[in-house]
Structure 1
Amino acid sequence: MKAAIYTFIALIAFAANSLFCRMALAEGYIDPYNFTIIRLLSGAACLGIIMSVYTYNLKRKGSFNDAILSDTGSWRSSISLLVYALSFSVAYVELDTGTGALILFSAVQLTMIGWGIYKKEQLSAVQWAAFLIAVTGFAYLMLPSAAVPSLLGASLMALSGVAWGIYSIRGKVCVSPLRTTGFNFIRSLVALPILLLVSMSYFNAFTIQGILLACASGALASGIGYSIWYVAMPLLKSTQAAVVQLCVPVVAAFAGVIFLQEQLTVEFVIASSVILTAVLIFILNKKKE
């Protein structure tokens, strides 16, 4: 039950992040480089404040231990986070929603399920069938809005998916999800000087709406959301963590209907039902040893 709750909250955060990115980048409120800069800065600032309060309370209560305080993330995870965030933002403006989602989640699935199989996380016949049905439903949902992608956009989105898969996998061994995520965001800021140089020509192109959406994406959907995802990851197999993320486009689409007045179609209802049912079957079915 604990794994299900944290996973559900994390998926909501991922969907919210997709919504914030769509509103900011697709509407032209901000460019992808400044969006990434503000996203990383706001995530680091938010988590830095929360970490300080968290660490202070642990010390005050005498309940902290060296393992928690020594968990300061890693450069590998930080690089994965940075590559994911920047590649995603740049690719997002090069691709339409359907094409981007297909490429992104295909790369995530291949990375995480491939790693799970490498680590001997064998799937039952029912799980394989459920996975294929979920992927089919996902493709059915996204293909109507997909178009022939540009090579640059497709490559960057695939790179983003691989980086996110790696970042997720590395969350399985963290001791303190909050501190790990916080320090990963803080470490990623070493790339800020380069990003600022690239983004200088866009300084007059972003708006207050873009800044606020980037802050919401960084502090709430990314900073807090990724911390919760790192709580869930040790409780899930890599294959399970990969498959449940197929629900993200469904949740994001529902949010688009509610908050952006996007159209709810029969095809969407059918595809969503197929995906959610298949994911549930996958999670509930276990490979017998």
Structure 2
Amino acid sequence: MRLIFLVSLTMVAFAANSILGRLAIGGGYMEATSFGLLRLFSGAVTLSALCILRGLSVRRNLRQTLWGAAALSIYIVGFSVAYQDLDAGLGALILFGVVQVSMFLWGSFSGSPVSWGQIGGAGIAFAGLAFVVWPSGGASAAPLGASLLMALGGLGWAAYSLLGRGARAPLAATAVNFAVATLMMVPGVLLFGGDIVVTRTGGLLAVLSGAVTSGLGYALWYHVLPRLSPAVAATVQLSVPVIAILAGAALLGEAITVSLVIGSTAVLGGIAVVVLSAPGRRTAAHSKTVAER
């Protein structure tokens, strides 16, 4: 039960990042890559301060740090720049669709067992997500360049999640990843950034996203990842766009449609199937029942 609560809290933090990003970038309060850079920097400062207060060493393996920071910076650049041109819902579909496929494939290739029930549940969840966010009839096709950038961001996040499964000190590992990714993000700002626009509201939203929903949220994600299979970790993240859409309806006054209700139900139901169909779960439950007898 505690694991379910922590995973749910993490997904809410991820969804909050989408809301904060939409408010800052979509509202014109801040340029996209500058938002990403300040988001990383504020997260690095906050996490480093927590490590100091808790007496945690931030000395990490250089190779693991470089890989983790590179994956994180790729995600931030792809996510931020793509959302300048993509519809938020379609962008979420591309991002988490790529994450799901990547983590499922990695789990299969690395020998992690994946049941047919999990495959079916993931398909239900993905179909429900597509039903929620796919543009209605007559909508123009998504820009190819922005779609590819969002897909690149999805690959970066999938890699970051998979690398996090081996983190022994989640808080310290996330702090170092954020610090190094901040340096890696600078070329992205110079390459993709336009006119630098930073308002007080935009800066506040970026700091809140970096320090709380990204920094602490990602540290929590690194904490729970070792207890999740790649298939489960991939599928539960499909709940993030649905949470973001529901939060947008509540906080931004967006309408809740019938398609939203149906699609959200399919996503959450698919996630439940994936979790309940995990290989070994039924065997473990049976063993526990026998032992209690």
- The TM-score with structure 2 as length reference comes to 0.89
Matched, 1:269 2:261: yes
Q: What letter corresponds to residue 3 of structure 2 in structure 1?
A: A
Matched, 1:188 2:151: no
Matched, 1:87 2:78: yes
Alpha-carbon shift at residue 70 of structure 1 (Å)? 4.4
Structural mapping, 1:125-144, within 5 Å:
125-144=116-135
Deviation string 1:65-116 (CA, Å, 9 cap, x unpaired) is xxx6644661100010011001110001121112211211111011111111
Structural mapping, 1:104-123, within 5 Å:
104-123=95-114
Counterpart pick for 1:213 among 202, 205, 216: 205
Counterpart pick for 2:224 among 225, 232, 244: 232
> How many pairs does the alignment contain?
277
Asked if 2 retains the 8 angstrom alpha-carbon contact of 1:108 and 1:164, the reply is yes
Asked if 2 retains the 8 angstrom alpha-carbon contact of 1:99 and 1:147, the reply is no
Q: Which residue is 1:38 aligned to?
A: 38
Q: What letter corresponds to residue 41 of structure 1 in structure 2?
A: F
Q: CA RMSD in A?
A: 1.9
Matched, 1:164 2:157: yes
- Work out the percentage of aligned pairs sharing the same amino acid: 36
CA distance in 2, matches of 1:174, 1:129: 30
Q: What letter corresponds to residue 84 of structure 1 in structure 2?
A: Y
Alpha-carbon shift at residue 166 of structure 1 (Å)? 0.2
Classify 1:75/1:132 alpha carbon distance in 2 versus 1 (closer, same or farther; 3 Å).
same
Asked if 2 retains the 8 angstrom alpha-carbon contact of 1:96 and 1:147, the reply is no
Classify 1:135/1:197 alpha carbon distance in 2 versus 1 (closer, same or farther; 3 Å).
closer
Alpha-carbon shift at residue 202 of structure 1 (Å)? 2.0
Classify 1:276/1:202 alpha carbon distance in 2 versus 1 (closer, same or farther; 3 Å).
same
Alpha-carbon shift at residue 259 of structure 1 (Å)? 1.1
Deviation string 1:224-267 (CA, Å, 9 cap, x unpaired) is 00000001100100110000001001111111111111111111
Q: Which residue is 1:48 aligned to?
A: 48
Structural mapping, 1:59-70, within 5 Å:
70=59
- The TM-score with structure 1 as length reference comes to 0.90
Asked if 2 retains the 8 angstrom alpha-carbon contact of 1:3 and 1:236, the reply is no
Alpha-carbon shift at residue 42 of structure 1 (Å)? 0.6
Alpha-carbon shift at residue 196 of structure 1 (Å)? 5.5
Deviation string 1:8-31 (CA, Å, 9 cap, x unpaired) is 111010000011111111111111
Structure 2 stretches lacking a partner, 5+ long: 284-293
Asked if 1 retains the 8 angstrom alpha-carbon contact of 2:81 and 2:192, the reply is no
CA distance in 1, matches of 2:253, 2:31: 24
Classify 1:8/1:147 alpha carbon distance in 2 versus 1 (closer, same or farther; 3 Å).
farther
Asked if 2 retains the 8 angstrom alpha-carbon contact of 1:71 and 1:174, the reply is no
Matched, 1:248 2:206: no
CA distance in 1, matches of 2:245, 2:50: 30
Structure 1 stretches lacking a partner, 5+ long: 59-67
Alpha-carbon shift at residue 222 of structure 1 (Å)? 0.7
